[in-house]
Each structure stands twice: as C-alpha cells, then as structure tokens.
Amino acid sequence: MLVAPLLLLLFVPFPASTGNQDPPKATNGELFPWDRMRLPKTVSPIHYDLTIHPNLTTFHFTGVARIELDVHEDTNMVVLHAKQMQISSVLLLAPDGVRPLKVLEYPHFHQLALLSDSVLTKGQMYEVKLEFAANFSDSYHGFYKSSYRTRTGEVRFLASTQFEATFARGAFPCFDEPAFKAKFTIRIIREPRHIAISNMPKVKTVELLGGLLEDHFDTTVKMSTYLVAYIVSDFLSVSKMTQHGVKISVYAVPEKIDQTAYALDAAVKLLDFYDDYFDIPYPLPKQDLAAIPDFQSGAMENWGLTTYRETALLFDPDRSSASDKLAITKVIAHELAHQWFGNLVTMEWWNDLWLNEGFAKFMEYISLDITYPELHVDDFFLGKCFEAMEVDSLSSSHPVSTPVENPMEIQEMFDDVSYDKGACILNMLRDFMTPESFEIGIIKYLKQYSYQNTVNGHLWDSLTNNPAPKATSSQGHHSKWYSDDELDVRTIMDTWTLQEGFPLVTVEVRGREIRLKSGFAIPLTYMTSASETVHRFLLKGKTDVLYLPEEVEWVKFNVNMSGYYMVHYEGEGWNSIIRLLQNDHTVLTSNDRASLIHNVFQLVSIGKVRLDTALELSLYLSRETEIMAVTQGFGELVPLYKLMEKRDMAALENQMKGYIVDLFRGLIDQQEWADSGSVSERVLRSYLLLFACVRNYPPCVTKATQLFNEWKDSDGNMSLPVDITMAVFVVGARTPEGWDFLFEKYSHSMQMSVKSRMKIAMTVSPLKDKLKWMMEQSLHGEVMKTQDLPDVVVSISKNPIGYKLAWDFLRANWRTLIKKFDLGSNTVSYMVTGVTSQYSTREMLDEIRSFFGSLTEETGSKMRCIQQTYETIEDNIRWMETNLPLLQAWLDKRRQRMPHEDL
C-alpha cells in the first residue's frame, strides 16, 4: 500500500487521524504521537550497533542497540518498533551532547515513540541508544529457544532467530519495515560451552568478567531487518570453499553432523551457479546453512546465515529417499536464490512479496535443471501451478500483488499465490520473451537496484526493450511471434499480478477456424495433429479467430502448460482429445497430458464439462507411466472418494476406490520393491506402493506385511529399500504392536527423513486412541516436536478414522495453536484448510461456521483461510449434489462392461 503523505511533525504533537477511531493511547495513558501502522519517513536508520546477551538457563536476554539516524525532516520524535520488551534507558547522542529521551509505547502497533525536548535537525546525524530486555519468544518467531535430545536422552537448548516478516522488533528495537535498510554490527555474549554465528564472519572474541565471552562480527552490507540472524548453540560445522572464494559451512547438532555432506556440496555448487547466472558476485565472504531442531517454516534466507528445518537440510545417503534429495536440493536452491533476489534487491513493501518468493521458487527449477539434471526437476514444476490454481480459483483468493497493512495480513501473503503462482507467471513470461532475453532483463534489474527496494513496475521496465536473440529452428518462432511494439511487458503482466484468478480460454474449432474467448491478454501456444511445431499467438482482446492452413483432427492449447491458464474445448473438442489419448497418448508430452487431466476435472467443478466426459478421459491412464500425468490422475480422482469417506456411502466409495486401483493396477504390478531407476521413477514407485497398500491391494499388503515383520524381527536393524519404507510402515502401523514398535524407533532415530516417514505412517493408522495421543504429544512437544503438529493434524484429518478427531482437536486447542504458530501464518492456514477441505455436508459446514463465527478479530476471525474454508465446503456440497448420480451411473456402466475387474 502507499503511505499517506506525512505532516511536518515538528510542532504538531499528533498527526491528523486516518479514520474515526479513537486517537492511540500509550501504555502510560498519554496520547501516542503517531496513529499509523507504517512508520513515518522523517528519519531512517543508517547503522545498528547491536549487543545481545542471551541466557540459555533463564531463557531471557538483554541487549543494547545504538542506532545511527539520518534525519530527513526537522522533527522532535523518532518512531520505531519494539514488541514485548522492557526498555530501561534511552539516550540521544546529538552533535551537541548526550541527553535522555522520553519513551512512549503503543503495543497495538508494536511502536515506540522517542520524544526529544529539542529539534532533530534535517541533514544532521544523530544516534539513539536503547537498553532493553525480553524473554525468548515462545513461538517460532523472533529470538526463540529451541531444544534437542541427545542419544542418551539429555535435553540441550539453543537460541535462534526468525525475523521475517515482522519479528525483528521482538528481538531488538528497530525500524522493522523492508525499505528501512541499514548496516548491522553485531556482538553476542555467550558461555564458553556455546558458539555464536551471525550474518557475517566473526572478527574476534573478547573475554568478559564472570567467564563469559563476547563474539564480535563484521559489519553487514546494507539490508532489511527481517534478514538479520544470530544463533547461540553447541552446533558443529563442516566447510568448503566455492570456486568464487566464498566459504560455505553447514551447522547441525553434534550427533547429526554426519548428515551434512550432501547439503554442503549442493550449496557450493548452487552458489557458484547463481554467481555466474546473475553476473553479480555474491557480496558476503561466507554463507552458513544451519539446521535448527525447532523451525516452523521450511527455511529462511537470512543473508549469509540461511536457516532450515532439519528435514530440509540433513541427508543420509543410506536412509534418505529420492524425494528427500529432491526436496533438500530445491530448498537450498530457493534460499540461495534469495541472496540476490530478495536480499540484494528487496521489495519495497510486503504487498510485492511475490517479487522475492515467486522468483526464488522459479529459480529452484531453473538452477536445478542446469546443475542437477539427474533430479529431473521439470517433472515437478507443473504441480506447483496446479496447487496455485486450486487456491486461485476461489473468490477469496487475492492478486499476486495486493495491499497489506497489519502483521496478520503480511503473514497471509506467504501462500501458494505469492510462491507458486508467482513462479508460474514468471515461467510463462520467460517462455514468451525467450529464456535469453528474460535472463538479460533479470540481470539488468538486479544490477540497477542492488541494495535498494523495488516495486512490480521496476521488474517490468527491466524486462522491456531487451534484445531478443534471432530465432533458430530449435526455438520455433520464439523471437518472431510478436512485433517489438507488442512486447509491453508491464501491460501484459499487470493483468496477471494486479487481478486475482486466472483465465479460462475457450477454444472452438470450426473447419480451419479456431475461435478463442478469454478475459486476459495471453501469450498462447498451441499444436495440432497436422504439425509438431509449437505455434504462438498473442491473444489481446476478449475474442479472436485463428486460421489454420488446413483442417485438423485435434488441437492442444497451452503446450506443456507453460502458460498459467486453463483451456476448455467446446463442441467436439474434448471428444477429439479423448480419442487421441486412447489411440496414442505419447503424441503429447507428459506435461500436456497432465494439464488435460487437470483442466477437464476442474471444468467439471464449474459446470463446463460433464463428469462422465472427464472420467472417459481418465480411462487412458491405464497405459500412463510418466510421473506428472500419473500423479495428476490420482490428484483428480482420489479427492472424489475422500469426500465420500466423510459421508455414509460405503458402496459408491468402494466402487470408486476399486476403479482407481484397477486403472493403475498394471503400473503398480510393475514396481520393484527396491531402490532403482531415475529420481522420478523412484518418487513414483514410493507414491504407487503407498497408495496400493493404503487401498488394501492384496499383493501390496502381503509384501509390505512380510517386510515389516522381518524389519521388526531384526529390531529395526534390517536395511529396507528406502523408497518403499512408507508403504511398509503404513501397513505395520495398523496393529497396536506394530504401531508401538514404529513409535519406539521414531523416538530414538537421529535420521530426520526416516523419522518423517514414520511419523506420517503412524497418522494413517486405523487406531483411534493412537491418533488422539499423537496429536496431544505433538502439542506438548516433548516426545514429538510441536513443529510437526500441523503435519500430524492434517494427515490425521485425511484418515477416514481420524477426520473428526482432527477437527475436534483443532477447535479445542485453537488459542494455543494461534499463539504458537501466529495468526495469518501459512501454518495456521494449512491446518484450517487441511482439516476442513474434505467436508461436503451442510451439517459440517454449519458446525465449522459456528466455531469460526464465534472468534474475535484477536483470535483470527478475519483470516482469509476461514473464507477459503467456507467456499471450499460450499463447492464440495455443490459438486456432490450435481455429480454423484453421474458418478454412480458411469461406474455402474463400466462394471457391466468389465465385471471381472471390480475389486
């Protein structure tokens, strides 16, 4: 949002109010001299000198912040942020001497006003010195305590930071908005048994009285407060140098340091790649990656000290799966991309968060495609676009760039729209412009705005008027399919970033004419039965007509689904595609097939296509072998019976389950119970065998039971093939003895990826008492980490035995959960939508409305995810009312055709 023009503050004790609300009152009852959420621009910080002394026995910390200020307008006050801290002394260090400042506090906006008797003069340099104290945060934000248990059972503590988006203010007084960039010189006081790390390398350590040590860190480059980081712990580290001379170190708890080698090599390789790709040297002398035992999100891009969940960084070559390797490499690629896109060039305000997150998500795929071709990362990108569309199809979605003001609204920006939709529209733009021209524009943007803050338009300007390379036959018509005056990137991309949702392109073929309808300016791609060339067409108006050189049997728009839009084929269009898939599905790429599966089932939801048409298309899946198309088939078909599991309709539910097992039976039967093949083949094997065992497919259950019993008899020492462990654990967790054994192994395992698989397998169990116990233990956080609670609750909610338990648990513990995980956070949203998304009855909708309707604004009533929940359940109810009779009729007809195949 734009900041309102600021009044001259010199002799006006209180600015004009922005609304009819009462003027803000400070904690001492006086008027607070600022009534806006955003800070005034009259002064800005240049440099912070920070000394922090955390006490890992009392879980309390003290500190001193000296902030050098630049005064832009004469004023007698400085307004900055501080949250839940005691300020004991505030001094102004002015050119004419040192004097105390009066302090007023306004907790509602987390603001402090420092009032001076004399004027701070424009152009002069001043310093404020604040002494402060606070308790460690008891959530996962700010400066918080973490703990881990050693093999011998000893609990050890550490302290770590997580400041994005508005939590630096809970660790030290600061101007906690991304545009207030400054340099930071940090000192940490610690006991000799610990080490301290921060954004920059340590310069020296000084001995203090009482046996304490003070680590001095080098001064940072100019950066935003949310990127400041420091950790006090007993971690060990391993290090290597990049080709460009940057020292990379990976930190972890001592007993897991042997799981850091893969991350270290990946970080070296990826930092070198970005250094070359962006044509800007990484600006710091080192990059640390730290695995934190308690961490809410996946990872955080603090400059020079990126922090991670243990599962997102630690890799055991013998025990981690192919999907673990893929996930870890992607997370590291994401955080290191941020060192340029986000840290070096930062969005002006959180409304444009997608400039950081959409780009880092997009760069995961660009970087890994080049540095780790064996991971076949292209096989997984499309899934991100489908996930984004799921949220973006709701009227409670939001534009990629959208106004936000308060911390809850800012937290809500960290969602699939900012990350995944952002990445997908960048991918579309890159395809439209050509990769070479896009890269030139990105480098121009990063060089022009280094150490600055930007808005959407700065990126579009940088991407406009770049020379596109001459087309080659391998590129198709890449550089010739629009004239130069058509490449107005801003006009095209504002359509995609400033309005929510995505376009539906309606295609109708009449002889050689293709009639097109849509509401966006779209760079369309298409191919036909008559030509293997990818044709390109810029659709500018709401309707247009394309003329083909000859009549064709079929046409497929959005080639490889490189565009963020859906396509509806009117008339005979879908039937011609169904015939094509039945006759020879390999004529289209795996991504094209996956997009057709996605589009046709989504069009059923909005009443554009009949369900039996979509199901007829799904029949071709019995011959499908590629991961993206197979998983998308599951992604559209499985939710249909998941809705039924929460109603009393066992016969139809089992018929639907039988159809899906039948459809993929051939592919399931082909799977070896071993670790072999490419990453995509291994990920698919895990997926298929897990599905087959959960669905009680007899050959799968028999094999998994045999392997679980052998593993249990060996006391867990037998080496199971990694990629089949989920299937084996899920079957084993069905009996109380098997569940208890699995939990016992979970409790003592130091392998993070193994623990993760065991945890999810235990949530799939039919044992109700175990499911309830798991949620309670995760909340307590001793035997199971509280950071894992959201996954546990959402996974149990998908379990036909556990869905009501998960909803009851969420409701009963609501206040605790929003305190621990923060209002508006992606974690709270994930729990709310995850637990409720498979309900489809008026009774459950009323129950859910009744609970969320009883909340106040302080307890989350205004959260977007609540509106999304209502909308999703309404959609489910509508879907069931419209389509259940069609589904029943189609399955009955199919059973008559193939009676011997019903399971």
Please give the annotated binding residues for Zn(2+), written as ranges.
334, 338, 357
Burial group, residue 549, by CB count within 10 angstroms (0-12, 13-18, 19+) = exposed
**Is 335 a residue of the active site?**
yes
What's the Rg (C-alpha) of the chain? 29
- Rounded to 5 degrees, φ, ψ at 70 are -110, 125
Would you call 545 helix, strand, or coil by DSSP?
A: strand
Beta bridge partners of 111: 81, 106
Distance CA 530, CA 553 (A): 8
CB atoms within 10 A of CB 68: 16
DSSP string, 83-141: -S-EEEEEEEEETTEEEE-EEEEEGGGTEEEEEEEEEEPTT-EEEEEEEEEEEPBSSSS
> Residues 643, 647, 651, CA angle at the centre, nearest 5°?
90
**177, 335, 616, 624: the active-site residue:** 335
Asked whether the beta carbons of 141 and 823 are under 8 A apart, the reply is: no
Beta bridge partners of 452: 345
Q: Give whole-number Cα distances, 650 to 653, 655, 835, in Å.
A: 5, 8, 21
- Rounded to 5 degrees, φ, ψ at 315 are -135, 130
Asked whether the beta carbons of 165 and 350 are under 8 A apart, the reply is: yes
In terms of phi and psi (left: phi > 0; alpha: psi -120 to 50; beta: otherwise), the region of 558 is left
862 Cβ contact partners less than 8 Å away, ≥ 6 residues apart: 408
Distance CA 712, CA 716 (A): 5
Distance CA 773, CA 767 (A): 10
Residue type, 593: R
> Residues 132, 138, 144, CA angle at the centre, nearest 5°?
60
For the annotated catalytic residues, the residue numbers are 335
